[in-house]
Amino acid sequence: MSRILNSVAVLIMTLSAAAAFAQEVVLKPFVLASKGAGDVAQKVEATKAALSKAGFTVAGSYSPYANTTVIGVTNDELRGTAAKSEHGGFGAAMRVAVVKVKDEVQVSYTNPPYWANAYRMSGELKDTAGKLQAALGKVEEFGAKGLTAEALRKYHYAFGMEYFNEPNEFVKYGSHEEAVKAVEAGLAAGKHGVTKVYRVDVAGKNEVLFGVAMKSVGDSKMMDDAYLMSEIDFKDVKSAAHLPYDILVSDKTVFAQYARFRIAISFPDLSMMGANSFMNIMKSPEAIREALSLTVGGKKDAR
């Protein structure tokens, strides 16, 4: 009997240890797929070809600044999973970056399980993660010390700052079609420095995700992609797949994540003060909110 009890105790201890280990598994926002010598333009074309071969749809791409191209991609799992949760459309696309750093070209992409949890989606997009790895490779996850799935689902940067379920609500239209048309028109006009990079329609739901480029108009630089990344993307392995920013049309209403969430979830380890800190872009969240709101037909004081 004592031998049986000892065996049971060992089993319980083993299972407890395994459970504790599982709880400690952390996720990081980006995956470094490859790095090495090469030409950015050639690598971009090779990357797009590999993604298409793996079943991804290349929704669009842009160069936010020199030696950098960001590609928006989607697939059936992304669009289908996005439909199953409130504002899941924010996760309907993954982003792939090709960046030249000195003599090295880095290819990286958003880590699907990280973003699925950050956006409170109904699954962790493991199939998409596997397909991205098979298509592009995987050297390491990077971009933060890491957060557990549980922490990501209730993430906010600091006390008083926004959660995922507290987005900016800009404007409500008479119908979904009217809302999408207004966003398309605003992005095409680009009067406030915001233009379209890609569009992804969520499967079976009145929800459309727009990836948007932001470039300063006039004297303001605080919403500019290049300026923002020059301040916060300062490490040797670049987090350019943070871009582009997102606008979501959900039914009749136009939303965006507030920048104090959207930027922080990509850079959760960024310090509050000092060099390369949030303090340096303190005015950016409101500048981004205003530019996006005016672009989609909202008001300057929409928040």
Q: Is residue 97 classed as helix, strand or coil in its secondary structure? A: strand
Q: Distances from the Cα of 173 to the Cαs of 82, 249, 250, 283, in angstroms?
A: 22, 10, 11, 29
Report the pLDDT value the prediction gives residue 11, as an integer from 0 to 100. 52
Contact call for residues 109 and 136 (beta carbons, < 8 A): yes
Q: Is the pLDDT of residue 8 over 50?
A: no
Higher pLDDT, 273 or 92: 92
Report the pLDDT value the prediction gives residue 5, as an integer from 0 to 100. 44
Sign for the CA dihedral angle at 288, 66, 33, 147 comes to negative
What's the whole-model pTM score? 0.90
Who's near 149: CB < 8 A, 6+ residues apart?
25, 27, 113, 117, 124
Q: Is residue 92 classed as helix, strand or coil in its secondary structure? A: coil
Q: Is the pLDDT of residue 3 over 70?
A: no
CA 301 to chain centre: 25
Burial of 192 (0-12, 13-18, 19+ CB in 10 A): buried
> How far apart, in whole angstroms, are the C-alpha atoms of residue 37 and residue 66?
17
Question: In terms of DSSP bridges, do strands 140-142 and 253-256 run parallel, antiparallel, or are they unpaired?
Answer: unpaired
> How far apart, in whole angstroms, are the C-alpha atoms of residue 278 and residue 260?
9
Report the pLDDT value the prediction gives residue 273, as an integer from 0 to 100. 86
> How far apart, in whole angstroms, are the C-alpha atoms of residue 131 and residue 137?
9
Contact call for residues 209 and 257 (beta carbons, < 8 A): no
> How far apart, in whole angstroms, are the C-alpha atoms of residue 113 and residue 196?
26
> How far apart, in whole angstroms, are the C-alpha atoms of residue 42 and residue 243?
21
Q: Is the pLDDT of residue 248 over 90?
A: yes
Neighbours of 275 (CB within 10 A): 9
Cis peptide before 29 (omega within 30 of 0): no
Class of domain 26-295: alpha beta
Burial of 158 (0-12, 13-18, 19+ CB in 10 A): exposed
- Write out the two tokens for 212: 């948007």
Q: Is the pLDDT of residue 111 over 80?
A: yes
Calculate mean pLDDT across residues 14-39. 78
Question: In terms of DSSP bridges, do strands 207-214 and 94-101 run parallel, antiparallel, or are they unpaired?
Answer: unpaired
Q: Is residue 18 classed as helix, strand or coil in its secondary structure? A: helix
Q: pLDDT by residue (tens digit) across 211-237? A: 999 999 887 899 999 999 999 999 999
Cis peptide before 268 (omega within 30 of 0): no
Q: What is the mean pLDDT of the chain?
A: 92
Report the pLDDT value the prediction gives residue 21, as an integer from 0 to 100. 45
Q: pLDDT by residue (tens digit) across 249-284? A: 999 999 999 999 999 999 999 999 888 888 899 999
Beta bridge partners of 256: 168
Nearest Cα neighbor of 168 from 272, 248, 238 is 248
- Write out the two tokens for 14: 């083993």
Sign for the CA dihedral angle at 22, 28, 31, 37 comes to negative
The confidence band for 303, taking pLDDT boundaries of 50, 70 and 90, is: low
Question: In terms of DSSP bridges, do strands 245-250 and 207-214 run parallel, antiparallel, or are they unpaired?
Answer: antiparallel
Calculate mean pLDDT across residues 39-51. 97
